[in-house]
Structure 1
């Protein structure tokens, strides 16, 4: 399996695992969207909490130029840390939700 295919599978596995987590409140469920052709991977929270509609991205990751760009990360542990645990080098992960000035100090790739 090539590197990009490995990255795809690891991202999908991690997001699929997160999608099984149940909410303690409201009628909310998680949904994954995997667009392998475009290398977009999204985990959404969808549902209702009392009279309030819930619809937001928990995680959005893209593979761009051979690196995993984390566009948003609403998880407790941090998807980047889970990717590293799964064997992806830090220099192949970009925390895109941080400005470049902050990325310089994260230990992950800048761009």
Structure 2
């Protein structure tokens, strides 16, 4: 249970810190969505820019079987790198946006 709580904190910290890098001048709202019961975490962008609707997921991370599953990473920094800096070992990070057959070549967990 301690590992789960630690990973929940790391994921929330990494997503929050990334969201804080964004510009506050934008008309786009950043929504942090943290479901700590089911272990789903997202950063969404929602709003209007130049009369066009903006709605999209920037980050989607799940915690399953004591591993952090990065379902979607739309960042330039690579959220896995930020999680490693916080102390998460590569063997506990799954780059789920890669198909299962490719994951063995990423240097991260396969599942």
TM class by shorter chain equals over 0.9
What is the correspondence of 1:95-106 to structure 2 with a 5 Å cutoff? 95-106=95-106
**Runs ≥4 in structure 1, deviation > 4 angstroms?**
none
**1:30 to partner: Cα distance:** 1.1
Structure 1, unmatched stretches of 5+, are none
- 1:40 and 1:61 in contact (8 A); partners too: yes
RMSD of aligned residue pairs (Cα, Å): 1.6
- 1:47 and 1:55 in contact (8 A); partners too: yes
- 1:22 and 1:29 in contact (8 A); partners too: no
- When normalised by structure 1's length, the TM-score is 0.92
**1:25 to partner: Cα distance:** 7.6
Give the secondary structure class of the aligned counterpart of 1:100: coil
Separation in structure 2 between the aligned mates of residue 3 and residue 24 of structure 1, nearest angstrom: 34
- When normalised by structure 2's length, the TM-score is 0.92
Structure 2, unmatched stretches of 5+, are none
Separation in structure 2 between the aligned mates of residue 95 and residue 64 of structure 1, nearest angstrom: 13
The 1:67/1:88 distance shift into structure 2, 3 A limit, reads same
Give the secondary structure class of the aligned counterpart of 2:48: strand
Count of equivalent residues? 111
Give the secondary structure class of the aligned counterpart of 1:104: helix
- 1:23 and 1:29 in contact (8 A); partners too: no
Residue 61 in structure 1 maps to residue 61 in structure 2: yes
Q: Paired residue for 2:110? A: 110
Separation in structure 1 between the aligned mates of residue 26 and residue 49 of structure 2, nearest angstrom: 4
